[in-house]
Chains A and B, each alone.
Chain A
Amino acid sequence: EAGVVQSPRYKIIEKKQPVAFWCNPISGHNTLYWYRQNLGQGPELLIRYENEEAVDDSQLPKDRFSAERLKGVDSTLKIQPAELGDSAVYLCASSLRDREINEQFFGPGTRLTVL
């Protein structure tokens, strides 16, 4: 069974540039999560989707971050414009319905460096 797929694995951009990350969850997983992991810290939830609906985006900085999950399968997270402080690893995870407390499976992450 294929795991959570993310691309790109690494991205280096200059500040004020836009950037996008893509995630394909495990087949059949309704719930998709985007996390940000700063250096020396644990992952922090940015947004959670149940199918195509964003049910928890309270931690997403909406002035520059946006996300979508069209058709309830793969998802894109965008930053525009990027700032120096956005340098981090962006993780995608998926699970069966979140309400039923299912294990979250994580992708390898995208390491973003903003110069």
Chain B
Amino acid sequence: AQSVSQHNHHVILSEAASLELGCNYSYGGTVNLFWYVQYPGQHLQLLLKYFSGDPLVKGIKGFEAEFIKSKFSFNLRKPSVQWSDTAEYFCAVKATDSWGKLQFGAGTQVVVTP
């Protein structure tokens, strides 16, 4: 069974700083990878996803993530954060074989200070 590990539970940074959130998964087969975001008081929404092809994927609001297959990683990055990026970020993995379920990491709470 696959599992997902997010490296940090809480991150605090200032506006304009760069952000990188780590995500590693354990699964030997082919996977689809996702980052979801939950802004305060709002529901989970998709930030970006990787299915195949270019391992560098771009999502909404200036976020990008890179899939490194050899490291089983899918780290999320943003070069310059804004206060509005304060949210909880979840990495999720889905095995492509048969009816693989979406497995979420524990989440990283990101607080951006003005």
Contacts and interface: CB of A to CB of B under 8 A. Distances in A.
Interface of A: 3-4, 33, 40-45, 48, 55-56, 91, 93, 98-99, 101, 103-104, 106-109
B9 A45 contact: no
Contact of A45 (B45, B46, B102, B105): B102
A56 B102 contact: no
Contacts of B107: 40-42
A108 B99 contact: no
Given A40-B9, A42-B4, A42-B92, A104 B102 contact: yes
Interface string B36-53: 100000111110010100
Interface of B: 4, 9, 32, 36, 42-46, 49, 51, 90, 92, 94, 96, 99, 101-102, 104-107
